[in-house]
Amino acid sequence: MEQPAVIIRCENINKKFRSKTVLEDISFEIMRGEFLSLLGPSGCGKTTILRMLIGIEKPSSGRIIKDGVDITEMPPKERNIGIVFQNYSLFPNMDVYHNISYALSAKKLDKDEIDSKVRRFVEMVGLEEHIYKKPRQLSGGQQQRVAIARTLVLNPDVILFDEPMSALDAEIKVVLREQLKEIQKKLKITMVYVTHDQEEAFALSDRIMVLNDLRIAQLDTPQNIYHRPADPFVKRFVVDHLDRKVRSIEESIR
């Protein structure tokens, strides 16, 4: 039987930290197999949404539905949602192989099955020649690829990314973006990606959620956001920024 197109539905989500409201009555759907970016300035609630999806934070009110099941109060380990953090969070005393295999070993899988899965994802992220290196022997981009492989190997329904490339230099970012999009298409996995970088969101996303002032300013395809911004904020924050970037590039090559 074909699975429904919507994998996660957030309904009327409000979030307060003590007396401060950070999200106000937001509702949206995440489509199965899509790459959705959450884009907005610092403090607009992007990471809070991610933390509620994974279950680290709970909404003050509203519901999160995944595949028809209310997961609002469900513990993170029962959601089958993975997350890749900005700081990699690798075990420094373990090599690439054992960083990736650790969670599988905890599930008591057969050694041959673990080995097969680990090597598949090591190859997928292009780290075959680094498989027995420790994190300190790897570049930032390579460490981030280990973190991605470690999440992929558990076969989650959804992977969340919290500004995973913000610490990397521009050239490495471009390569890792291309690789991440290729993996997403190959596995047909749902990815939700937090960023404050307009170019990154446009390069990666099927749809972009632009957040501002506690709410969703616009949720649409990159093309529609660029050509039909929903309000002055979206035009200023997204369209005008990208136009300035293009002009800057054109001037630098004249």
State the average pLDDT over residues 142-153: 94
Q: What is the pLDDT of residue 2?
A: 66
Cα–Cα dist 83/90, whole Å: 13
Q: pLDDT tens across 186-217, in order? A: 999 999 999 999 999 999 999 999 999 899 99
Q: Residue 53 to residues 9, 236, 251: CA-CA distances in angstroms?
A: 10, 28, 42
pTM: 0.93
**What value does the mean pLDDT of the chain take?**
93
The two most distant CA atoms of the chain are separated, in Å, by 60
Q: What is the pLDDT of residue 108?
A: 81
Q: What is the CATH number of domain 1-80+157-254?
A: 3.40.50.300
Q: What is the pLDDT of residue 85?
A: 87
- E strand or H helix that includes residue 183: helix 170-187
Q: What is the pLDDT of residue 9?
A: 98
What is the location of CATH 3.40.50.300 in the chain?
A: 1-80+157-254
Long-range contacts of 25-28 (CB under 8 A, 24+ apart): 25/62, 25/215, 26/62, 26/215, 26/216, 27/62, 28/209, 28/216, 28/219
Q: pLDDT tens across 14-45, in order? A: 999 988 999 999 999 999 999 999 999 988 99
Number of residues that make up the chain: 254
Strand pairing class (215-220; 207-212): antiparallel
Radius of gyration of the chain (CA): 19
